[in-house]
């Protein structure tokens, strides 16, 4: 049984992933912006765009071991962020949540992960952050945020390797959520089941890697 923290776990992929991991007998703490307002399970207040909120959550769990921390919280900004249609304030917010938030969560919960026995740090990124898979252009805001978080986690994989950490980046698929929309390719249960398999099965050989929810390696 692993103890697992998931950010943005009140709805969408994060909620589905929490449910799958709980079904498998793991102890899941769901990071949500407003505890009690949404979903079930064990919840903690955690707004990843607010450094003080992250630090409060880490302090609230001080002395508690975590085996796995999953950075799932993310925002898209708006659709159609193409050339000539860029809102600086939205770009700033997306980078604050998707990039700096993921980094700050990793940093704040390092002591908890060091006390645990698996030392896994997982980030739900996107294939839209891939350079090699970008054949259609556009969406500067979201793409740049996911490319940046990939770079951050790749560095963390190297920096934390001497301590035995496993740091991975996972694409959840195109998923039917508020972000993915109703026409997306897969439902949250399919994504979450695949993600859970990849996360629980991740080994040191996979650290620093970028994978699809079915475990297939993705191009950077």
Binding site for ligand NDP (CB under 6 A): 7-8, 10-14, 33, 46-49, 72-75, 97, 124, 126, 171-172, 174-175, 177-180, 184
Nearest alpha carbon to residue 11 among 173, 127, 176, 170: 176
Q: Measured from the CB of residue 16, what is the shortest distance to ligand NDP in angstroms? A: 8
Specify the residue, 47 or 67, whose C-beta has the smaller distance to ligand NDP: 47
Specify the residue, 40 or 204, whose C-beta has the smaller distance to ligand NDP: 40
Say which DSSP state 129 is in.
G
Q: Measured from the CB of residue 85, what is the shortest distance to ligand NDP in angstroms? A: 20
CB 93 within 8 A of CB 113: no
Distance CA 190, CA 179 (A): 16
Q: Measured from the CB of residue 97, what is the shortest distance to ligand NDP in angstroms? A: 5
Specify the residue, 114 or 174, whose C-beta has the smaller distance to ligand NDP: 174
Nearest alpha carbon to residue 192 among 12, 2, 7, 66: 12
Q: Measured from the CB of residue 76, what is the shortest distance to ligand NDP in angstroms? A: 7
Q: Which two tokens stand for residue 170?
A: 């996972």
Specify the residue, 10 or 194, whose C-beta has the smaller distance to ligand NDP: 10
Nearby residues of 18 by Cβ (< 8 Å), 6 or more positions away: 6, 9, 28, 30, 39, 41
Q: Measured from the CB of residue 134, what is the shortest distance to ligand NDP in angstroms? A: 14
Distance CA 202, CA 118 (A): 10
Specify the residue, 122 or 202, whose C-beta has the smaller distance to ligand NDP: 122
Instruction: Compute the C-alpha angle 80/176/193, nearest 5°.
Output: 130
Q: Measured from the CB of residue 47, what is the shortest distance to ligand NDP in angstroms? A: 4
In the chain the first and final C-alpha atoms are separated, in Å, by 32
Specify the residue, 14 or 209, whose C-beta has the smaller distance to ligand NDP: 14
Q: How many CB atoms lie within 10 A of CB 108?
A: 21
């Amino acid at each position: 049984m692993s103890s697992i923290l998931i950010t943005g776990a009140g709805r969408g992929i994060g909620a589905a992933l929490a449910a799958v991991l709980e079904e498998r007998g793991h102890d899941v703490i769901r990071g949500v912006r407003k505890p009690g307002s949404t979903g079930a399970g064990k919840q903690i207040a955690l707004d990843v765009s607010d450094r003080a909120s992250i630090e409060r959550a880490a302090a609230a769990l001080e002395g508690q071991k975590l085996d796995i921390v999953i950075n799932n919280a993310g925002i898209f900004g708006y659709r159609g962020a193409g050339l000539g249609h860029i809102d600086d304030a939205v770009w700033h917010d997306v980078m604050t949540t998707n990039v700096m938030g993921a980094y700050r969560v990793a940093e704040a919960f390092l002591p908890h992960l060091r006390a645990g026995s698996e030392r896994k740090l997982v980030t739900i990124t996107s294939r839209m952050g891939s350079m090699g898979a970008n054949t259609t252009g556009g969406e500067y805001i979201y793409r740049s945020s996911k490319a940046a978080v990939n770079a951050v986690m790749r560095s963390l994989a190297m920096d934390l390797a001497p301590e035995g950490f496993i740091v991975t980046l996972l694409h959840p698929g195109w998923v039917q959520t508020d972000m993915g929309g109703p026409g997306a390719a897969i439902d949250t249960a399919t994504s979450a089941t695949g993600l859970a398999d990849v996360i629980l099965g991740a080994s040191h050989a996979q650290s620093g890697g970028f994978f699809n929810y079915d475990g297939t390696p993705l191009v950077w």
